[in-house]
Chain A
Amino acid sequence: MVGGFRWAAMFPDEVWEHVFSFLPADADRNAAALVCRAWYRIERRSRWRVFVGNCYAVEPAAAVRRFPEVRAAAIKGKPHFADFNLVPSDWGGGAEAWVEAMVEGWPHLEELRLKRMVVSDDCLELIARCFKNFKVLSLVSCEGFSTAGLAAIAANCRNLRELDLHENEVEDNCLHWMSHFPESFASLVTLNIACLEERLVGLLHRVPQLVDLGTGKFAAQHHPELFSKLESAIAGCKNLKSLSGFWEAGPTYLPAIYSVCEGLTSLNLSYATIQGPELIKLISWCKNLQRLWVMDLIEDDGLIAVAASCKLLQELRVFPSDPYGAAQPISLTEHGLVAISAGCPMLHSVLYFCRQMTNAALLTVAKNCPNFTCFRLCIMEPHTPDYITRQPLDAGFSAIVESCKHLRRLSLSGLLTDLVFKSIGASANCLEMLSVAFAGDGDAGLHYILSGCKNLRKLEIRDCPFGDKPLLDNAAKLETMRSLWMSSCSVTLGACRQLARKMPLLNVEVINERKRGLPLELQPDNCPVEKLYIYRTVAGPRSDTPSCVWILR
């Protein structure tokens, strides 16, 4: 600190602000703010973008007070496993507290992105009324609002550039909410309403400058005249780069989008029940595709075709068309994944649902793609071994983490022992998020992860034989992470109590949905914990916990 005051005063604040504007990452700005009080003061007044990875990590008012000039905010609520119904529906993640604080302290807010939060129509109305220069609204995996709330946004936000509403639970009570958009809507560039039925064609004519279009449900095959209108409307959107939608079977209307295929960089067909041959035909037009989301109906043959046509592909997601395996088996295997890894040199992000895998295939993928940043493999049957050798898939996943030095996100599946965790702990130095299910032999597995993986931020575990010891031995690690989720493991209440006492900056949330016997305060230490959610926070215990959640202190 000696001399800190002197040299900070060498330049006027504006110069430092300008310098700080070149710091792209929040981590860098956070570091700058720690140098001296002057820099703290200058930095906080010039930060205009904040990301709050856990809405309960800080009080909304505190965040708004510290950064008064924010124009863009992104906030996340529920833990990731809420997507799969593992988190009670009343757990929390309400957006009101944040929206109220933002309306109060950030009247010039232009951009708001919420993920996994409960957003009411009142919130949407507040946003529509209070932020005069509002440009971007993105609600992903949210719930609690209806199309009436959206109508308020459409009617009041005249400068709206981006409206992204994908995968929300929206109550559709206002049929013509989109008619509230202005007649000539020259500002809208991104429209993703892939959760609602709507009148697409009329809208497209009003927004020909659209770059990103996500449609809701429509069954064009029943309306041939609608098809030709759709074709001309889409062709009119000359800037279209990204397309997604709920497209039912019936390849007859796919040609409607051929005209824009060559310009597409992003295509989401994961809600479309188009079969392999039609998919291949469509994708063969999309030579510039960087991101492709499809159903496993594409099969290995389709992926081989993708590997041949889409040389710029960076991200691939293959979703299961039939998660419970009741229908005919689909021919999507490890071969498709290997083909893509071999044919697409820029591939760095994969999400792949399949039913079989081998260590050999994973080793090949690891060798072909050392640049992976995100690798999520879901073999749908828990504990599935290498189907040829019958061995666990430790070797395969170990090869991935050892080869892919920039891996930031990893999801494991299949039969796995503690060995894979040893490799991950030792090699995955950039790993920020790890998802584990039905894996491991015992405490050692969790210990390897928590004592290694120096950049780990989010860890989510379900149905693994991990217990108290690795948690207590690595308590300090938990404060360096955003959050830890453990469900159906072997953690006891006693360990959670100890952890909570030892680490005041953590909220240790115990979730017990089966309300039988004594309340949690009176349960003995050896009482098993169903679900555990631990996160670091400077806000202390939250006040909106439902009856099934206890925050231990």
Chain B
Amino acid sequence: MEDHDNLKATELTLGLPGTDAIEKPTTAAPNVNKRSKEEEEEEECCGFTGSSGRPAAKAQVVGWPPVRSYRMNSFRERKMEKKEEDTTGIYVKVSMDGAPYLRKVDLGVYNSYEDLTDALEAMFKGFSLGKRIIQRQAHDLHESEHAITYEDKDGDWMLVGDVPWEMFVSSCKRLRIMKGCEARGLTSSP
């Protein structure tokens, strides 16, 4: 299983890192066949395509498995309610450049980047000068004082906001609010 993961890490794909994306082509037969062969090879390596090997936030094919969206919504609602009941939480340290001490946040209580950013702004309000402290999108970097970055499972420092929320929550180890000028080196836009 581990060897297989390494092979996958070096594979060139258009999918986001950490996803097992089954991106749908809209055109001809050959693509579909090729995809199925790739997946067969995957299955050869892993053995049975069980669920335990996959990362938590797998990129999903639209409308598959064929469960009514109504039922899906009630799963999602239940998961969120369950998250509220969970006492463990997903606590990560948050540091801000220039602040004398760190804080901790429970990523499990937020549902989106917006929520998280609002909470961090509130938490660190005392330590900054500008009205909009934290960048909301990559292009805001030029305007805001600070940028939120995080350390992922591989130990790399990433700009917050690129990947789907659930994927971020599952891979974030700690947060760092760094000065805008330093953060501009991290932006993914060309």
Contacts and interface: CB of A to CB of B under 8 A. Distances in A.
B64 interface: yes
A381 B49 contact: yes
Contacts of A270: 71
Given A85-B63, A442-B29, A465-B33, A382 B52 contact: no
Interface string B11-29: 0000000000010111111
Given A83-B69, A84-B67, A273-B78, A385 B51 contact: no
Given A383-B39, A465-B33, A81 B49 contact: no
Given A325-B51, A325-B58, A326-B57, A463 B69 contact: no
Interface size class of chain A, counting residues whose CB lies under 8 Å from the partner chain: 35 or more
B43 A329 contact: no
Given A327-B51, A356-B48, A385 B64 contact: no
Given A442-B29, A490-B29, A85 B51 contact: no
Interface in B108-150: none
B1 interface: no
Contacts of A11: none
Interface stretch (A182-190, A233-241, A316-324): A316-324
A331 to B, nearest CB: 11
Contact of B64 (A84, A465, A467): A84
Given A86-B62, A528-B26, A328 B67 contact: no
Chain A CB within 10 Å — which of B40, B61, B70 has the most? B70
B72 A528 contact: no
A325 B28 CA distance: 29
A84 B40 contact: no
Nearest to B54: A325
B68 interface: yes
A86 B63 contact: yes
A445 to B, nearest CB: 11
Nearest to A168: B70
Interface string B24-58: 11111100110010011001000011111010111
Contacts of A248: 78
Contacts of B52: 328-329
A353 interface: yes
A321 B67 CA distance: 10
Interface string A260-294: 00000000001101000000000000000000000
A324 B75 CA distance: 11
A81 B72 CA distance: 14
A83 B67 CA distance: 8
A544 interface: no
Nearest to A530: B26
A171 interface: no
A169 interface: yes
B190 interface: no
B33 A441 contact: yes
Nearest to B32: A465
Nearest to B68: A83
Nearest to A467: B29
Contacts of B67: 84, 319-320, 323, 353
Interface in A362-404: 378, 380-385, 387
Interface in A516-530: 528, 530
B51 A355 contact: yes
B69 A319 contact: no
Nearest to A328: B52
A510 interface: no
B27 A528 contact: yes
A498 to B, nearest CB: 18
A54 interface: no
Contacts of B66: 83-84, 378, 411, 435, 437
Contacts of A411: 66
Interface string A297-337: 00000000000000000000001111111111100000000
B47 to A, nearest CB: 8
Contacts of B62: 84-86
Contact of B40 (A141, A271, A273, A383): A383
Nearest to B81: A248
A437 B70 contact: no
Contact of B51 (A319, A326, A437, A464): A326
Given A326-B56, A464-B32, A85 B48 contact: no
A463 B32 contact: yes
A56 interface: no
Contacts of A76: none
B16 to A, nearest CB: 16
Contacts of A324: 58, 60
B65 interface: yes
A375 to B, nearest CB: 15
B10 interface: no
B74 A319 contact: no
A385 B43 contact: yes
Contacts of B51: 322, 325-327, 329, 355
A246 B74 contact: yes
Chain B CB within 10 Å — which of A141, A246, A326, A490 has the most? A326
B27 A85 contact: no
Given A382-B39, A383-B39, A437-B66, A528 B61 contact: no
Nearest to B77: A217
Contacts of B68: 83-84, 141, 167
Given A442-B29, A465-B33, A488-B26, A81 B63 contact: yes
Contact of B72 (A323, A385, A415): A323
A168 B69 CA distance: 10
Nearest to B30: A465
A463 B22 CA distance: 11
Chain B CB within 10 Å — which of A273, A378, A488 has the most? A488
B149 to A, nearest CB: 26
A479 to B, nearest CB: 26
B48 A462 contact: no
24 contacts: A83-B69, A84-B68, A270-B71, A271-B71, A271-B74, A319-B67, A321-B75, A323-B75, A325-B51, A325-B58, A326-B58, A328-B52, A329-B51, A355-B49, A382-B39, A383-B36, A385-B43, A387-B48, A442-B29, A463-B32, A465-B33, A488-B24, A488-B25, A528-B28
Given A382-B64, A463-B24, A528-B26, 7 more contacts: A270-B71, A322-B75, A325-B58, A355-B51, A378-B66, A385-B40, A442-B29
Leading 6 A-B pairs by shortest Cβ distance: A325-B51, A84-B63, A465-B29, A83-B68, A167-B70, A86-B63
Interface of A: 81, 83-86, 141, 167-169, 195, 246, 248, 270-271, 273, 319-329, 353, 355-356, 378, 380-385, 387, 411, 415, 435, 437-438, 441-442, 462-465, 467, 488, 490, 528, 530
